[in-house]
């Protein structure tokens, strides 16, 4: 039976939540993201440390001029970054094909944006999302290095 955790957090907490989740990885992190707002300096440092420990990081994102520099930094760190329009529709991360977390943005409110995070600790679900969603999009996506160079 899958462990499912639902959490509602402020948009401001997204980088810390991302780092905390990434730190659980021992072999691979697969990310689809519509923006790179989660990739602050601390998160980039966390990713660099994980890559140096042998964790493979694959990212499919949606390109925007505001993300050009972050994408360059991610590539320089050793992450594989690709671009695909589908990334504009969703945001999720798979850790070691054992856990998957979806971040669902709530509609804008007058005061603050929030995300609902749905974490599923289930290998079968994680493998299915990786195989049928992430891998299919990753295969079609364009190498980001061609776009940001």
pLDDT of 138 strictly over 70: yes
pLDDT of 8 strictly over 70: no
- Do residues 75 and 102 touch, judged by C-beta distance below 8 A? no
Q: How far apart are CA 36 and CA 18, in angstroms?
A: 11
List domains and CATH numbers for the chain: 3-148 (3.30.870.10)
Rounded to two decimals, what is the model's pTM?
0.87
Tell me the percentage of the chain whose pLDDT exceeds 90.
Answer: 54
Alpha helices in 9-77, H assignment, sequence order: 14-22, 41-52, 68-77
pLDDT: is 112 or 130 the higher one? 130
- Do residues 91 and 34 touch, judged by C-beta distance below 8 A? yes
Quick: pLDDT tens for 35-49.
888 888 999 999 999
Lowest mean pLDDT among 46-55, 76-85, 101-110, 138-147: 101-110
β pairing state of 92-95 and 80-83? unpaired
Q: What is the pLDDT of residue 127?
A: 96
Quick: pLDDT tens for 61-70.
988 888 899 9
Model confidence at 108, pLDDT cuts 50, 70, 90, reads: low
Q: Which residues contact 79 (CB under 8 A, 6 or more apart)?
A: 47, 51, 57, 58, 59
């Amino acid at each position: 039976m899958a462990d499912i955790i639902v959490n509602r957090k402020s948009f401001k907490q997204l980088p810390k939540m991302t780092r905390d989740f990434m730190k659980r990885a021992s072999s691979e992190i697969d990310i689809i993201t519509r923006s790179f707002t989660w990739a602050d300096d601390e998160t980039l440092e966390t990713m660099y440390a994980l890559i140096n420990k042998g964790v493979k990081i694959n990212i499919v994102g949606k390109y925007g001029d505001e993300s050009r520099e972050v994408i360059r930094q991610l590539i320089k760190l050793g992450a594989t970054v690709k671009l695909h329009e589908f990334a504009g529709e969703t945001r999720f991360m798979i850790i070691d094909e054992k856990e998957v977390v979806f971040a669902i943005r709530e509609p804008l409110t007058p005061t603050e944006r929030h995300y609902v995070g749905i974490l599923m600790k289930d290998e079968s679900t994680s493998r299915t999302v990786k195989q049928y969603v992430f891998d299919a999009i990753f295969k079609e996506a364009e190498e980001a290095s061609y776009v940001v160079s």
